[in-house]
Structure 1
Amino acid sequence: MTPFEALYGRRCRTPLCWYESGENAVLGPKIVQETTEKIKMIREKMKASQSRQKSYHDKRRKDIEFQEGDHVFLRVTSTTGVGRALKSKKLTSRFIGPYQILEKIGKVAYRIALPPSLSNLHNVFHVSQLRKYVADPSHVIESDDIRVRDNLTVETIPLRIEGREV
């Protein structure tokens, strides 16, 4: 018993076995011609199937391109190295940034200006690892003016008194 037969429960059909099973034909030009015709037919059907699947895929696909100077988010995954470069592993966000694109390298790769904390990373990333940053004023967090004393303490003013019990 062959491994194929043990796995699939039937004998393997090679191109020489594609002729009609009732005939005991001798190998010759007729069997070779039938085999090549059937191989051509199989290739045509595979091409038709592949083109149909490609058309389904292309309907939903859009090519993403960035310009120099655009800002993008960088995807955090353990396989790309970005996840390994971050110090905190727990509760990390899916994207970090935004970072500025310095230049386009090839069709799908971009060089990004990374901060010094991520200097151990290679600064060229595939377009699938990037997401466009849409500027929004609500993303900017303004800090309050804090007055620090000479002894490095900060005066805090309570907003309201919750309870008077001690």
Structure 2
Amino acid sequence: MDLIMGLPPTRRQHDSIWVIINRVSKSAHFFAVKTRDSAKDYAKLYINEILRLHGVTFTIILDRGAQFTYHLRKLFKKGLGTQVNLSIAFHPQMDGQAERTIQTLEDMLRACVIEFKGSWDDHLPLIEFAYNDNYHPSIKIAPYEELYGRRCRYPVCWFEEGEGALIWLDSVHETIDKVQLDDWVFLKVSPMKGVMRFGKKGKLSPRYVGYYRILKRVGKVAYE
């Protein structure tokens, strides 16, 4: 379990995301929360949204944040009989999986906010759906398939009966030179504190800007 904090407040005053990951199936749940929420609020959310779906877990790794202090740990230890381990900063085996998931989640949020506008918490349910239906290299399948034992069906892949079978792309062909003259490209930019891009700043500011036309090649990996 971990928190993404410091997000732009939404219309519902959410400014954080509670990230809960199943270490076996790699499936994840993302909940929009508020910084001012108490440990009791988190405990209630856990019972309503996690316990009812997945039952009681043997162990839980908690972030050391103030939100995960006495009341929540008491719920897990005494109320549910779950062993609680506190994460250690910069310990890759304990917090690495959560950090990778958070990075992916932030990228997906950023893309949705730029493309579809609106508050980021409006997009969170479908982002969770897309994350869990995406191939995970450590288990060689999607978390959804690992969790439910079958592939997920989703609206993009539905066809009316008789219109033909679903066609899956077997491979993606890449050219030797990924960038050609007259191509239009985006430029990757580093986040800058206080700088607003596309109406967003901070964690949801875009990582790429553009697009720009390639005029000529000036080196092996340099273009004008």
Q: Which has the greater radius of gyration? A: 1
Same fold? TM cut 0.5:
no
Give me the TM-score of the superposition, normalised by structure 2: 0.18
